[in-house]
Amino acid sequence: MTDVPQPFAFLPGDPDSSVILHVPHSAREIPAGVRSGIVLDDAGLERELDHITDAHTATIAEAAAEAAAVAPWRFENRLSRLVVDPERFPDEREEMLAVGMGAVYTRTTHREALRPGGFDAEPLIGRYFRPYARAMTEAVADRLAATGRAVIIDVHSYPSAPLPYELHGDGPRPEICLGTDSFHTPPGLLAAAREAFAPCGETGTDSPFAGTYVPLEFYGKRAEVSALMVEIRRDTYMAEPGGPAGEGLPRLASALATLVDAASG
């Protein structure tokens, strides 16, 4: 018998903070019943996890939360994105479906088979994707009720060299890519992020990854829910792929704490 891992966690911050640090892709954990539906052998799976996981982003968020003057709330996915990717649309709206990487991936980062042909994604959507989306929706509603607004800062990382699955891999790859949404990302939040991350290198917007995550219930409807995605280039803080964190991590955590404080004010 193995313990069933907790699929996600909402970690409290200051009651007056409107900020939620969302960390969807940091974990490598795959429950045994989900592992058996993946066709890679163990070595192949470890290699895929090295490429696809936003390693150490939970550590960056945790350190930022500790350093911030007003502690943000944190929503962490405790399972690998190979179980379900909570940030993808669970249907045909998802452009990544074209490369087998909708909410339930069927292809690897190198466009090889991850799950068998004809794989039924619905059980994973029901068991993991929908409960996650519900809990994240409630987390945002909770901050809205407490403070009158919510600020979702989505914490990711991305490889310095494009992977074959990327749809927009030929664009710029700055040290910090800020993903924005025309409705949910106020110019002030974007400017605060550019300033906060200036010590970490170059910042750019929406390349190579665009957009930011907002639960569908609020998406395009509630301007009090603001959001920004922070995609950190992995060579700024870790050995790629899948290696340990290096000396760049504290600087990134400190920059993120500065952004949290700017967004809280």
State how far the Cα of 56 lies from the Cα of 38, in Å rounded to an integer.
24
Q: Which segment (145-153, 154-162, 169-177, 239-247) binds Zn ion by CB under 5 A?
A: 154-162
Residue 78 phi, psi (nearest 5): -95, 0
Per rule CB under 5 A, is residue 25 in the interface with Zn ion? yes
In the complex with Zn ion, the residue whose CB is nearer, 56 or 222, is 56
The H or E element containing residue 246 is none
Of 17-25, 58-66, 98-106, 121-129: span binding Zn ion (CB under 5 A): 17-25
Q: Which is nearer to Zn ion, 74 or 156 (CB)?
A: 156
Residue 200 is given by DSSP the state: G
Nearest-approach distance from CB 69 to Zn ion, in angstroms: 27
Pick the piece of the chain touching Zn ion (CB under 5 A) from 21-29, 58-66, 110-118, 137-145.
21-29
* Position among 48, 54, 181, 206 found at the interface with Zn ion (CB under 5 A): 54
Q: CB nearer to Zn ion: give 88 or 156.
A: 156
184: CB partners within 8 A, 6+ apart? 212, 214, 219, 223, 225, 226, 227
Q: Is 239 helix (H, G, I), strand (E, B) or coil?
A: coil
Nearer to Zn ion, 60 or 71 (CB): 60
Q: Closest distance between Zn ion and the C-beta of residue 63, in Å? A: 18
Q: What ranges in 26-99 are assigned the alpha helix state H?
A: 32-35, 42-52, 57-67
Burial class from Cβ neighbours inside 10 Å (0-12, 13-18, 19+) for residue 190 reads: middle
Q: Which of the stretches 22-30, 67-75, 97-105, 113-121 binds Zn ion when contact is defined by CB under 5 A?
A: 22-30
Closest to Zn ion by CB, 85 vs 261, is 85
Q: Is 234 in the site for Zn ion (CB under 5 A)?
A: no
In the complex, minimum distance from the CB of residue 142 to Zn ion, in angstroms, rounded to a whole number: 24
Q: Give me the residues paired with residue 73 across strands.
A: 20
Residue 44's identity, in one-letter code, is G
Cα-Cα-Cα-Cα dihedral sign, residues 213, 217, 218, 221: positive
Among the residue ranges 23-31, 88-96, 174-182, 193-201, the one whose residues contact Zn ion (CB under 5 A): 23-31
Roughly how many angstroms between the first and final C-alpha of the chain, as a whole number? 48
- Choosing from 88, 143, 156, 234, the residue that interacts with Zn ion (CB under 5 A) is 156
* C-alpha distances in Å from residue 183, one per residue of 86, 180, 216, 218: 21, 9, 13, 11
Positions touching Zn ion (CB under 5 A) are 25, 54, 156
